[in-house]
Structure 1
Amino acid sequence: MSTVPDSILLGKYFTDEAGFRNLFPLPIQKLDALHWSPITVAGKAVQFLAQHEVVNILDIGSGIGKFCLTGGSIQPAAHFYGVEQREDLVKQAIIVAHRLGLNNVHFMHSNFTQLDLKEYDHFYFYNSFFENLPGTDKIDDSIAYSRELYNYYSHYLYKQLEEMPAGTRIVTYCSWGDEIPDTYSLVETHFDSLLRCWIKR
């Protein structure tokens, strides 16, 4: 029996935002518009990061897995990994990935600083660090927030990206670019430059 997901079944969940939200409980649906990437944004990012190659793509701060689930549904050759600090969101993401039969989508309950980023080829980053800044919307109060954490995470990611090999790709969405070293070239922008595509020289 084939393990490839039914594209028609998947299509009804990834053609519009309402279809995707219906995969999750109501409390999570209410968070979607503010905290996770629109499907059109995720799709454009996947086009740049995967390009029909067998690659490992990490979403840093994956929430309920919207980017990874969207990517896994449209690019079966790639593997999508999401790392998220909130265990309840990770559990929901895993449930949906299993329900949809997306064997190329994987989720981890961890802080991204505990991972070896060299195990991944490319990265997606919808600025999950912003929550640490005063006056920004928080998903919940289950984790600590501080400006110091924002600075620490941004600097840590910057240093890790510096060490990645030439050809590494990263897509940022709604980011100030604090985490992007000057060894990366901005090669594409979309959605009024909110989505930025970078390649390591």
Structure 2
Amino acid sequence: MSVRHDWYQSETKVVITVLLKGATDKNYVVNIEPQKVQMTADGYELLLQLLHPINVERSSHKAYATKVEITLAKETGVRWESLEQKADVAALPTLQAKNWDRLVSEEEKNDEMSAKGEAALNHLFKKIYSTSTPEVQKAMNKSFSESGGTVLSTNWNEVSKETVTVKPPEGTEFRQWDK
């Protein structure tokens, strides 16, 4: 019998919450491996093939009255699109719900590959911005707006100290449109 679970993530960890009433009283066992998590508890079983590798030594688990919380330390700060690896469809004949987020993500990747010129550059900047930390996003916003679109920096330590100056391309001159 499987158990219900949910998950969330931060930059450094993934937290899996397994809903299990009386978890502290049940004989539960959690086995954490670099790309697999398994939990059993009095006839319940949860087996997850993780999307990305984790650091086993820095991972842990704890039982509460209504749940078991499994904290997995990420190897890298990459954002996980899903908790588990994509299952081999041939190995699973049962119907599965569509993951619309993954479908949109795959469509965007296909658009990026077919885009050329300025469209490809815009896709690249969108990808960098959407996968960046809030600090990098602040740096990009500040540098772009203060320089009139001539500078795009990801270094907040540098950008936060002073106003970003306009740096037009070589051979051009910057003029404000209202003058």
Q: Under a length normalisation based on structure 2, what TM-score does the superposition of the two structures give? A: 0.25
Bigger-Rg structure (1/2) = 2
More helix by share: 1
Q: Under a length normalisation based on structure 1, what TM-score does the superposition of the two structures give? A: 0.23
Structure showing greater relative contact order (alpha-carbon pairs closer than 8 Å, 6 or more residues apart): 1
